[in-house]
Amino acid sequence: MAARRGPGPVAVLALLALLGPGWPLRGARAALNLQELSELKYGLEILAEPVLAGQHQAEDVVTVASRFKQRYECRLPPAAVGPPPGPPRDLRLYNGSGVAELLRPMGTAPCLLKTKDWWTYEFCYGKHIQQYHLEESEIKGDVLVLGYYQSAFDWDDETAKASKQHQLRRYHSQSYVNGSRCDLTGRAREAEVRFLCEEGAGDYIARVDEPQSCSYVLTVHTTRICHHPFLRPAPGLAPQPIRCQPALSPAQYVQYVRAQVCE
């Protein structure tokens, strides 16, 4: 008999997240479809009727245990089970412009501005990102460079494809480096610009974050990339149920059946 394929880390983390703390995974026989998992919502149902542990040896069944050591067998919806998917059908059929081509007109468009608290951020596509203080439409004080354009995410690169991060989160990114020196770190400032689809919108900076000192993330919303299959918003899908039932040992199951007969 061929050995059964064990679960990958995605299956473990996904079920722990769904079941919450106190639900350690004891064993599993399924591999989750990462792309479907990112786009579907799941609802957890705990059914009262128990099953005989180990009776269901299917690819869509995983076994978990509560913090009280009660075991459950959970059946996953079909969309979440199976090998990682190939390219989406609409991508295989897509013969339009690539992401870089779709965004290229931004290079000749006016720079984007966003004021957040004291600072105004200026993003010039493919050139630079700057930060300064404005008073009555005039720059007051120093102009800090957050980075000069270095590179963009390459959708055709095999290493990039393997990461799947951009496809799952549906954004395109550019890197900007060698900005003004940061007094806190002693290193040059740097930034990542993330482009997200927003139907019917112009180009604008939706938010500016600084997850680490002098390292920035600018999120730009634009309608230019909305018809590209990787960047189009995922369609709304109905929640998919994950149904779990108490898994009893043979002795426990016999006791349960006898109790049902007596009733």
CATH 2.70.70.10, applies to 95-222: no
Domain ranges of the chain: 9-87+235-262, 95-222
More confident residue, 131 or 25: 131
pLDDT of res. 210: 94
Whether pLDDT at 165 is above 80: no
- 149 Cβ contact partners less than 8 Å away, ≥ 6 residues apart: 126, 127, 128, 174, 175, 176
More confident residue, 156 or 248: 248
pLDDT of res. 3: 33
Whether pLDDT at 154 is above 90: no
Whether pLDDT at 114 is above 90: yes
More confident residue, 74 or 67: 74
Report the distance separating Cα 188 and Cα 214, nearest Å.
8
pLDDT of res. 156: 74
pLDDT of res. 252: 86
The predicted model gives 54-67 an average pLDDT of 76
Mean pLDDT of the chain: 77
Whether pLDDT at 148 is above 50: yes
Whether pLDDT at 90 is above 80: no
pLDDT class for 164, splitting at 50, 70, 90?
low
pLDDT of res. 24: 44
HEC readout, the chain = CCCCCCCCHHHHHHHHHHHCCCCCEEEECCCECHHHHHHCCEEEEECCCCEECCCCCCCCEEEEECCCCCEEEEECCHHHECCCCCCCHHHHHCCCCCHHHHHHHHHHCCCEEEEECCEEEEEECCCEEEEEEEECCEEEEEEEEEEEEEEECCCCCHHHHHHCHHHHHCCEEEEEECCCECCCCCCECEEEEEEEECCCCCCEEEEEEEEECCEEEEEEEECCCCCCCCCCCCCCCCCEEEEEEEEECHHHHHHHHHHHHHC
Whether pLDDT at 101 is above 70: yes
Whether pLDDT at 25 is above 70: no
pLDDT of res. 41: 62
Cβ atoms of 170 and 193 closer than 8 Å: no
